[in-house]
């Protein structure tokens, strides 16, 4: 059965308030397979640490504990090895990227696409903007990478895309793989209408200074497993710090948009995931998705790819 929303006009609701949680979308077995695949990759990473002279492999531990112990060991954080997109800069021929079949199964889950279709129509592109988000307890985050567990600055997603995407109907879809709570760092939003302006951010476009923040009150959004959070590119949002002692918040931060529209990251590939008949071409297979990213890595390796972020200088920051 297609996943449907229990309201007359979900698109108008999203445009007016800027966000929407839809419960019971992702099958738990799909979430479990994604966690298992990420844990397998984390085990490989930890074993590489051991082979290089590190303290131990952490291979027998639960995924969250693996990640916590890597942080405690002082070794390099494995975030890029678990991510589904290339970084914005310093791409090399061997830059890791998480391209397992379980990832594409997650990204193209039919019940998820049923929901997305109700906002952007029957032809759906999977944007190249997508990330695996891992938030460790703040007290354990290393000094050089406090963002791993601390508060995520308030921002709008249009701020990390080129201007070509400003008028495109891009949908952000945020999915916790485990329960997302106020304690482990759930997302917060400022209710933001779709027609709202893009606010000037600080630095690399990753934060809105306090002087530029809208007057709305923040809304924390704890979510249970299987739920998805949807918001539009102008929605002002952030994430709380992880103040737990031993939980890692694990989530996927994804983008979908109508077919044949600019993505704001033209150097990276996008893929048709619904609407093959209407588009006159087949849906992307796992092999094509994987090869598309590997080809992009080869093409961009050791080159200055430029920045996708809108601002590159500090303005109005205190």
For the cut 60, the answer to whether the pLDDT of residue 318 exceeds it is no
Least confident of 66-70, 153-157, 271-275: 66-70
Residue from 265, 194, 2, 187 nearest 109 by CA: 2
In the prediction, which pLDDT does 1 show?
A: 37
Q: Confidence band (pLDDT; 50, 70, 90) for 314?
A: very low
In the prediction, which pLDDT does 50 show?
A: 72
Average pLDDT for residues 150-172, to the nearest whole number?
A: 92
For the cut 70, the answer to whether the pLDDT of residue 95 exceeds it is yes
For the cut 80, the answer to whether the pLDDT of residue 8 exceeds it is no
C-alpha torsion 108→110→113→117, nearest 10 = 140
Residues whose CB falls within 8 Å of the CB of residue 304, separated by 6 or more in sequence, listed in order: 89
Its pTM stands at 0.92
In the prediction, which pLDDT does 56 show?
A: 60
For the cut 90, the answer to whether the pLDDT of residue 253 exceeds it is yes
For the cut 60, the answer to whether the pLDDT of residue 182 exceeds it is yes
In the prediction, which pLDDT does 304 show?
A: 86
For the cut 50, the answer to whether the pLDDT of residue 3 exceeds it is no
In the prediction, which pLDDT does 9 show?
A: 82
In the prediction, which pLDDT does 4 show?
A: 45
Q: Confidence band (pLDDT; 50, 70, 90) for 38?
A: very high
What are the extents of the domains in the chain?
10-28+99-284
In the prediction, which pLDDT does 59 show?
A: 61
Q: Confidence band (pLDDT; 50, 70, 90) for 204?
A: low
In the prediction, which pLDDT does 5 show?
A: 58
pLDDT tens-digit readout, 48-58: 777 777 656 56
In the prediction, which pLDDT does 71 show?
A: 85
For the cut 80, the answer to whether the pLDDT of residue 181 exceeds it is yes
CATH number for the region 10-28+99-284 comes to 2.60.120.620
Instruction: Please tell me which residue, 278 or 271, carries the higher pLDDT value.
Output: 271
In the prediction, which pLDDT does 215 show?
A: 87
Instruction: Please tell me which residue, 92 or 69, carries the higher pLDDT value.
Output: 92
Share of the chain above pLDDT 70, in %: 91
* Contact predicate 273/108, CB 8 Å: yes
For the cut 70, the answer to whether the pLDDT of residue 261 exceeds it is yes
- List C-alpha distances in Å: 308 to 156, 163, 177: 13, 9, 27
Least confident of 60-69, 111-120, 142-151, 270-279: 142-151
For the cut 50, the answer to whether the pLDDT of residue 284 exceeds it is yes
CA gap 300, 308 in Å, rounded: 14
- For the chain, how big is the Rg over CA atoms in Å? 19
In the prediction, which pLDDT does 200 show?
A: 87
* Bridge partner list, 251: 133, 176
Residues whose CB falls within 8 Å of the CB of residue 287, separated by 6 or more in sequence, listed in order: none
């Amino acid at each position: 059965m297609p996943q449907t929303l229990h309201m007359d006009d979900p698109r108008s609701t999203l445009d007016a308030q800027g966000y929407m949680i839809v419960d019971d979308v992702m099958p738990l077995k799909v979430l479990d397979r994604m966690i298992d695949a990420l844990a397998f990759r984390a085990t490989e990473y930890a074993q590489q640490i051991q082979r290089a002279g590190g303290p131990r492999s952490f291979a027998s531990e639960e995924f969250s504990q693996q990640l916590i112990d890597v942080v405690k060991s002082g070794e390099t954080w494995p975030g890029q090895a678990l991510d589904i997109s290339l970084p914005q800069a310093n791409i090399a021929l061997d830059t890791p990227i998480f391209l397992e079949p379980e990832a594409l199964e997650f990204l193209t889950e039919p019940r998820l696409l049923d929901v997305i279709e109700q906002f952007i129509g029957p032809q759906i592109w999977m944007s190249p903007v997508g990330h695996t988000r891992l938030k460790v307890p703040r007290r354990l985050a290393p000094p050089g990478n406090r963002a791993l567990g601390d508060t995520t600055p308030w921002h709008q997603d249009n701020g990390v895309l080129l201007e070509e995407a400003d008028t495109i109907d891009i949908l952000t879809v945020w999915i916790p793989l485990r329960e997302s709570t106020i304690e482990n760092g759930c997302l917060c939003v400022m209710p933001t209408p779709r027609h709202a302006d893009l606010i000037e951010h600080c630095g690399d476009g990753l934060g809105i200074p306090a002087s530029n923040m809208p007057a709305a009150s923040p809304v924390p959004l704890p979510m249970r497993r299987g739920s998805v959070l949807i918001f539009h590119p102008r929605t002002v949002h952030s994430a709380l710090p992880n103040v737990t002692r031993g939980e890692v918040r694990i989530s996927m931060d994804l983008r979908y948009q109508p077919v044949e529209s600019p993505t704001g990251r033209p150097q990276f590939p996008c893929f048709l995931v619904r609407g093959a008949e209407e588009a006159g071409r087949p849906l992307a297979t796992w092999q094509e998705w994987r090869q598309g990213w590997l080809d992009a890595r080869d093409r961009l390796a050791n080159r200055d790819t430029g920045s996708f972020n809108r601002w590159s200088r500090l303005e109005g920051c205190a």
